[in-house]
Amino acid sequence: GKTYKIAVIPGDGIGQEVMPCGLASLRAAASRFNFTLDITSFDFASCDYFDKHGTMMPPDWVEILRPFDAIYFGAVGDPARHPDHITLWGSLLQMRRQFDQYVNLRPCRLVKGVPSPLKDPGEIDFWIVRENTEGEYSEVGGKIFEGTEREVVIQETVMTRIGVDRILKYAFDLARTTKRKKLTSATKSNGIKITMPYWDSRFHLMAKDYPEVKTEQFHIDILSAHFVAKPSHFDVVVGSNLHGDILSDLGPAVTGTIGIAPSGNINPEGKWPSLFEPVHGSAPDIMGKGIANPVGMIWAGQMMLLHLGEKEAAEAMLRAIDTVLGRADGNVLTPDMKGKGTTQKLGDAIAEAVATV
């Protein structure tokens, strides 16, 4: 079988706790499906590293990470130690940009065995395609009269034609392959009067190239409401960086917990390594308790295998997640899924299932 070079970055908080579960399932998949994961772990992109070195990453992090086939990433940030914008702009957000991971792909699915907060959720199974390198996450702006009553702070949203078109194209291409072939665009062109109407105009123009895809758009406010009121309506949802960020916590919450949600930060051209991580963060409120849900981390590993081309192994990993969660065993499910299990227990059960189901 093939060998894949994987950079492992656990990061902070529960990133450290869920990473071993992700690796256990990946190892089980590798040995069953006959490929090798050549794993190198890094301690950078963490508050511990920052305390020691004064930066989140070594100066040559691009050259260090570039040769890897993929990056497997836990979570970063601990606002009690360092401000989030310093730690995140010094790590994860740099990687997304430098490695041109312009697609943030986030599946959202109601999994049997995981209790939804909705009384009657129906079937929920959709994709969020989030723009990941520009938009509201910009470094354009500044402050004047700082520290005075006349203080002004400005931060610009940046949309480029290349940036908008490439994320829309990815979303249309994905929507073309699904059963329902429906693409929803998240906008806010009533209130945000330059960038959002531009986004809409590129969306409508591209729709002409995809006659087989049904399209619709909603302003982000009512779209959020629809995510809760009729989540089964959605198939593929595309949004700007900030819209996609918000929707990708809301969607998984409606399916029970953000603890199961995975994400792929993808450079589709394969020019740079892609990065796979759970949607959730470092969860300082539960860190050290051993109760973090490891499914988001494991499922992110599943997305990584698919990206690497190990289709059968990826399918087995998804079966393993579905099988173990589907048992609805309160002794195994973690507290965010209304169980009294632990990270370790659930992680072990899924790794075992990866080897067998």
Asked if 134 touches Mn ion (CB under 5 A), the answer is: no
Minimum separation from the CB atom of position 291 to ligand NAD (A): 7
Asked if 345 touches ligand NAD (CB under 6 A), the answer is: no
Considering only residues 25 through 54, tell me which ones interact with Mn ion, judged by CB under 5 A: none
Minimum separation from the CB atom of position 281 to ligand IPM (A): 6
Asked if 77 touches ligand NAD (CB under 6 A), the answer is: yes
Residue 280 binds which entry of ligand IPM, Mn ion, ligand NAD, none, with Cβ cut-offs from 5 to 8 Å by kind? ligand NAD
Do 110 and 255 touch, CB atoms closer than 8 A?
A: yes
Minimum separation from the CB atom of position 79 to ligand IPM (A): 11
Minimum separation from the CB atom of position 248 to ligand IPM (A): 6
Contacts of 182 by beta carbon, 8 Å cutoff, 6+ apart: 175, 213, 214, 215, 216, 234, 235, 236
Q: Residue from 296, 339, 341, 347 that binds ligand NAD (CB under 6 A)?
A: 296
Minimum separation from the CB atom of position 88 to ligand IPM (A): 4
Which C-beta is closer to ligand NAD: that of 88 or that of 196? 88
- ∠ CA 264-281-56 to the nearest 5 degrees? 90
Q: Residue from 12, 69, 245, 336 that binds Mn ion (CB under 5 A)?
A: 245
HSE value, Cβ hemisphere, 13 Å, CA-based, for 312:
10
Distance from C-alpha of 277 to C-alpha of 10, rounded to nearest angstrom: 10
Considering only residues 264 through 293, tell me which ones interact with ligand NAD, judged by CB under 6 A: 277, 280-286, 292-293
Can you tell me whether residue 230 is helix, strand or coil? coil
Distance from C-alpha of 188 to C-alpha of 227, rounded to nearest angstrom: 16
Give residues in contact with ligand IPM (CB under 6 A).
77, 88, 93, 245, 279, 281
Number of residues assigned to the chain? 357
CA nearest to 51, candidates 96, 90, 94: 90
Distance from C-alpha of 90 to C-alpha of 77, rounded to nearest angstrom: 10
Residue 115 binds which entry of ligand IPM, ligand NAD, Mn ion, none, with Cβ cut-offs from 5 to 8 Å by kind? none
Considering only residues 297 through 326, tell me which ones interact with ligand NAD, judged by CB under 6 A: none
Rounded to 5 degrees, φ, ψ at 237 are: -125, 125
Can you tell me whether residue 219 is helix, strand or coil? strand
Measure Cα distances from 229 to 121, 142, 180, 215, 336 in Å: 8, 39, 19, 20, 22
**What residues pair up with 3 in beta bridges, in sequence order?**
36
Rounded to 5 degrees, φ, ψ at 203 are: -60, -50
Which C-beta is closer to ligand IPM: that of 171 or that of 300? 300
Which C-beta is closer to ligand IPM: that of 96 or that of 109? 96
The Cβ of residue 283 has, within 10 Å, a number of other Cβ atoms equal to 23
Asked if 88 touches ligand NAD (CB under 6 A), the answer is: yes
**What residues pair up with 75 in beta bridges, in sequence order?**
11
Which C-beta is closer to ligand NAD: that of 196 or that of 258? 258
Binding site for Mn ion (CB under 5 A): 245
Binding site for ligand NAD (CB under 6 A): 14, 75-79, 84, 88, 92, 258-259, 277, 280-286, 292-293, 296, 334, 336
